[in-house]
Amino acid sequence: VCSVYDVYPKQIKVSWFRDGQEVTSEVTSTDVMQDGDWYYQIHSHLEYTPRSGEKISCVVEHASLEEPLKTYWDPSMPKSDKEKIAIGASALILGLIFGLAGFIYYNSRTQGQTSLHHKEMILFGLNSLNLTRLKSDAPLVWTWSRTTTAWIQFCWLLQCFSDVCWSSPGSGLM
């Protein structure tokens, strides 16, 4: 896209060139439009994908210019966009590294605790415990309804490895 703003008088010509040859077949242009402040603007679009090594330019001819203004199309990404991509990619990589480190640390801590509590439950002979909540703000209460295996899986899913999760009122474990 070749856009020309703040032009006066209204007469202006915008042309596209490929390797020094004027291109007319793949060009779409707007009419000269008013800016609303006595100035004018025009936009021209070249519908073409340049090949490697081609020089594409937009040439503007206007009475206010001593000679036509030629602007070459630069296919490279602006420096600010490159910096934003680099910062975003760096943040993503750091986030993944810290997330993986936290996951490994968490798993290494919980695996040892699971086997320790499982052994304690077998030692104390707790056969069928279930943890239920009477109200959302009520303390946790024990009932005798689940099997030991289901209770271990329930506590493991909640990652509740404190003494509260593994002892009950009246069991002598608190």
Identify the pLDDT of residue 113: 53
Higher pLDDT, 15 or 114: 15
In CATH terms, the fold of domain 2-72 is Immunoglobulin-like (2.60.40)
For 118-154, how does the pLDDT look when each residue is reduced to its tens digit (9 = 90+)? 444 444 444 444 444 444 444 444 444 444 545 554 4
For 22-39, how does the pLDDT look when each residue is reduced to its tens digit (9 = 90+)? 888 888 888 888 888 888
Token reading at 49? 């994908």
Q: What is the DSSP letter of 125?
A: T
Give yes or no for a contact between 32 and 12, defined as CB atoms under 8 angstroms apart. Answer: yes
In the chain, list all ranges with CATH 2.60.40.10. 2-72
Identify the pLDDT of residue 92: 95
Q: How confident is the model at residue 56 (pLDDT cuts 50, 70, 90)?
A: confident
For 35-47, how does the pLDDT look when each residue is reduced to its tens digit (9 = 90+)? 888 888 989 888 8
Provide the phi-psi class of 79: left if phi over 0, else alpha when psi is between -120 and 50, else beta: alpha
Token reading at 79? 């420096």
pTM of the model: 0.43
C-beta contacts of 125-131 below 8 A and 24+ residues apart = 126/151, 126/171, 129/168, 130/154, 131/155, 131/165
Residue 67 has pLDDT above 60, yes or no: yes
**CA atoms 60, 64, 65, 71: torsion sign:** negative
For 87-113, how does the pLDDT look when each residue is reduced to its tens digit (9 = 90+)? 999 999 999 999 999 999 888 877 655
- Please give the Cα distance from 22 to 62 (Å, whole number): 17
